[in-house]
A and B are shown apart, each in its own frame.
Chain A
Amino acid sequence: MSRSAELGTLEERKDSILRNSKQEKKDLKCDQNSVAGAVSQRACVYSGARVVLNPITDAYHLVHGPIGCASYTWDLRGSLTSGAEVFRNSFSTDLREKDIVFGGEKKLTAAIDEIVEAYDPKVVFVYSTCVVGVIGDDLAAVCKAAEQKYNIRVIPVQAPGFAGNKSTGYKAAGNAILELMDTNVTPLKKKGINILGDYNLAGELWILQGYLNRVGIEVNAKFTGDSSCEEIMRAPQAELNIVQCAGSMTLLAKKMEKRYGIPFVKISFVGIDDTIASLRKIAQLLGEQKIIDNVEELIKEEQAKVKEELEFYRQRLEGYSAAIYVGGGFKAISLIKQFNSLGINPVMVGTQNGKKEEYARIRDLTDEGTIILDDANPTELEKFMKERGADILVGGVKERPLAYKLGVAFCDHNHGRKHPLTGFVGAVNFAKELDSTLNSPVWKIIAKESGGE
């Protein structure tokens, strides 16, 4: 058996795992298809497209495929809405054997007819799935015919699961959003900003929007958390795009820059440091002195509100070690900083879909010896959490039981979270959650049972 197998990793995966060394600067292999049989934590192209588009509150999301794809993603994200609730339903053509044999175009056409008749929608997104990609249904043609018939937008989202990875799905979603924006681009007035890549999990977008409003920045459109189709259609009018989830929205931001001349900036409201830096960056780019002053005022006020509480938690958390395994690199970077600010040392950092430059940044930010992983699997997560002595893992739903089985605390940084983790208030929630898990009495009992201290 090869050496890497003895270590519990596959030979083919070894270039996607890096032990941080300040002297030897090696690039991490990333942005690749998952290795068969490695038990990747990633989902598929369709999933990437669905998570990005689904929070659009008043759109009809029709999944053209067998039932599973719609079933497993029904109300998948805890995106909150201040308006329509339509997006919390899951529509499917529920393809059966005979549709696979004879083709699903007729059924899709009829399904769109049913949606139009029953609900009078303005916008329908139609997602393709694995089988649709294979049986060759002409999604674009069916959607186009329906648009002409009903004079509404019926936008195809080309997302067969096998045709790439989750990032490919983000791209498909971005294209669908662009298509929606192009519905009727009015003369550009260049006012206000767009928020890209916040999905309003537990109201996070509202927090961000609240800050911007307070300092006098008008939000033109936000996508896709708590957004409406009409709002997205007016997105081309903005003077600046701010991109919160870089992984899912950078490409769209670039395209909008090219097409509508809207510059963009990547920001992050995860953690106090990044929140402050992001607010300042936005204000600087807009260039209005009043806004710049207001931002400083807001930072002062908000910091004062959370300072004492954060200090309380910092004292309870200092000295622990953390492992990070999240979807995108940009979030991982923010989490590293956030852990550091609480006196917690990140000893393992991995992502499902990180980019080369993000991994380079992660290397700069972490200590010698920190394990950095791309598209890791449970075997690797287990091995490196144990080896590096992580006390807590921050990750998604699938990683939670693994952490617990290993006697490691866990922080849910996933779609379904029920409290916001962004902005100043989110930083307190984050610290509180870490405290609730790291300092739980159960670990003392577990340690005793396991013959530890």
Chain B
Amino acid sequence: MARNFINLDVNPCKMCMPMGAAIAFKGIEKSILMMHGSQGCSTYMRRHMATHYNEPVDIASSSLTEQGTVYGGENNLKKGLRNTIQLYQPKVIGVVTTCLAETIGEDIDRLINEFVAEEEIAKDITFIPVATPGYGGTEYEGYYLSLRKMVERLAEEGSNDKVNIIAGNLTPAEIRRIKEILESFSISYNLLPDISKTLDAPYSKDYQKLPDGGTTIEEIKSMGGAKATIELGALLDEKISAGQFLEDEFRIPLYRVALPIGLANVDKFINALSKVTGAKPDPKLTEARGRMLDAMVDSHKYNAQGRAAIFGQPELVYSIATLCLENGLVPALLATGAKTSKLEELLKKDFGLAVEDTVIIDDTDFDTIRDYVNKLDVNILIGHSDGKFITERDGIPLVRVGFPIHDRVGGQRKVTIGYDGSVNFLDEITNTLLDRKYSSYREDMYDKHFTG
């Protein structure tokens, strides 16, 4: 069963769509997000992001009140946009809806068009509206949908030598790693979104409310003329795929690959790059790959003792599951709060997953995950910080990865992608298993064989 209750969600393993939009728009140069809804939504998301990225995250709200809810939020939204422009001087404003705005039927496309026609200050600003009702999906869909809407709005027909990279919801450090890999192929690229600096800004004497960095509007425009798109997202629905839009609209060949975690997935990403550039991977990459193979051999027996529960956003769960499968670590439970049937489908198809060994649940909650963790003798948890509740109650260690990580530092600097990143991540998993073994085996053996 995917969830313990039919009507109840107990301890959510998901967030809502606007959260995904908030992260995606942070990857656009000099952009700010306006959430059309009540004041609380923006504050909650700012708090969640602030603890994960350890960066100031400013998100505007139209601060809808009772009056706006009854008579329409037009005044609030327009006034909110004016104030936000005055305070932040952004180049881009993402305007996203919330549960409230959608339920009262706000037409943000129309309101933005009016605003642009009415206001002088709006003329140099690019507005990107996205409908993200909180009840319409999770942060996963909100993230990819926002990217698609950016491309739908801005990409232009053309012809250039660039490659589009649509990044999944990775960390700023991982985006930097992606860039290193791209640069090793000496290709010019459009990377969407680029949170590498905006959500992990170097210390500087002069603080900027909208930090440097991020994908530029020009880059998004030129995505319509690129020679290929590589989209990091193996499970996503076509309707929220920016790469799919580019293929449908501009006939740009689309390579959709999983988040490059684990040997096979990194290979697929690198192969896609080789294919679109016609170049062989840099020797450094080949060397890193060899080192990964070596490391996999070194730790395979330790990994064989692992039974993992992996939870979080579907793309991450999928790629970590493949890393486990490659290394003999049993992915006993794969769980995501989003709705998807692709996890099972793809793992069976690409990795010959024997489903009888693995429980796969979607649209689930932590109450259910915890029950399975105990039922399936899981000895390691892999996922974001909310899994700590299982650790606290059942003593099973948690390897933190994904979003949010708010009870440890460094979530924004974690790298699990690429050959190097995968090895480091695998080491962390293996060491967590070893730590558990070393801390208890003397006692265990004594109890088992001496006391009998």
A residues lining the B interface (CB < 8 Å): 1, 5, 8, 10, 12, 33-47, 62, 65-75, 88-97, 99-100, 107, 110-111, 113-115, 118, 129-131, 133-135, 160-165, 377-379, 382, 397-398, 400-402, 404-406, 446, 449-451
Residues of B within 8 A of A160 (CB): 38
CA separation between A88 and B388, bound complex, in Å?
12
B154, CB-defined interface residue at 8 Å:
no
B15 closest partner in A (C-beta)? A71
Residues of A within 8 A of B373 (CB): none
> A397–B56 contact, CB under 8 A?
no
Say which residue of A10, A71, A88 sits within 8 Å of B12 (CB atoms). A71
Say which residue of B12, B65, B76, B209 sits within 8 Å of A90 (CB atoms). B12
Can you sample 19 A-B contacts with CB below 8 Å?
A: A10-B87, A35-B79, A37-B80, A37-B81, A39-B61, A45-B40, A66-B133, A67-B16, A67-B134, A67-B135, A114-B8, A118-B5, A129-B99, A130-B100, A135-B103, A161-B41, A401-B54, A405-B56, A446-B203
CA separation between A406 and B207, bound complex, in Å?
6
Residues of B within 8 A of A66 (CB): 16, 99, 133-135
CA separation between A163 and B100, bound complex, in Å?
12
**How many residue pairs at the A-B interface have CB separations less than 8 Å?**
230
> B16–A74 contact, CB under 8 A?
no
> B87–A94 contact, CB under 8 A?
no
> A42–B43 contact, CB under 8 A?
yes
> A398–B46 contact, CB under 8 A?
yes
CA separation between A75 and B16, bound complex, in Å?
17
CA separation between A381 and B179, bound complex, in Å?
35
Say which residue of B5, B11, B34, B103 sits within 8 Å of A89 (CB atoms). B11
> B38–A162 contact, CB under 8 A?
yes
B14, CB-defined interface residue at 8 Å:
yes
> B38–A161 contact, CB under 8 A?
yes
Nearest CB on B from A377, distance (A): 7
> A161–B7 contact, CB under 8 A?
no
> B56–A37 contact, CB under 8 A?
no
CA separation between A99 and B197, bound complex, in Å?
40
Say which residue of A10, A65, A133 sits within 8 Å of B86 (CB atoms). A10
Q: Scoring B residues 88 to 108 as 1 if CB is less than 8 Å from chain A, else 0, what string do you get?
A: 000000000011101110000
Residues of B within 8 A of A110 (CB): 6-7
Say which residue of B12, B51, B134, B201 sits within 8 Å of A397 (CB atoms). B51
Residues of A within 8 A of B56 (CB): 378, 398, 401-402, 405
| Interface residues on chain B, size class | 35 or more
Given A74-B386, A114-B7, A68:B99 Cβ within 8 A: yes
Residues of B within 8 A of A91 (CB): 8-10
Given A68-B99, A96-B135, A398-B43, A37:B8 Cβ within 8 A: no
CA separation between A385 and B64, bound complex, in Å?
29
Nearest CB on B from A442, distance (A): 10
Say which residue of B43, B45, B138, B201 sits within 8 Å of A41 (CB atoms). B43
> B84–A37 contact, CB under 8 A?
yes
> A111–B7 contact, CB under 8 A?
yes
> A379–B87 contact, CB under 8 A?
yes
B19, CB-defined interface residue at 8 Å:
yes
Give me 9 other A-B pairs in contact (C-beta within 8 A), A36-B62, A40-B43, A446-B203 excluded.
Answer: A39-B42, A47-B40, A90-B12, A91-B9, A92-B12, A100-B99, A162-B65, A398-B50, A405-B201
B83, CB-defined interface residue at 8 Å:
yes
Residues of B within 8 A of A378 (CB): 56, 58, 209
Nearest CB on A from B199, distance (A): 11
CA separation between A77 and B55, bound complex, in Å?
21
> B8–A72 contact, CB under 8 A?
no
Given A96-B135, A130-B100, A400-B50, A37:B40 Cβ within 8 A: no
Interface centre among A43, A110, A130 (most CB of B within 10 A): A130
Residues of A within 8 A of B53 (CB): 401
> A70–B7 contact, CB under 8 A?
no
Nearest CB on B from A243, distance (A): 25
B351, CB-defined interface residue at 8 Å:
no
CA separation between A74 and B76, bound complex, in Å?
29
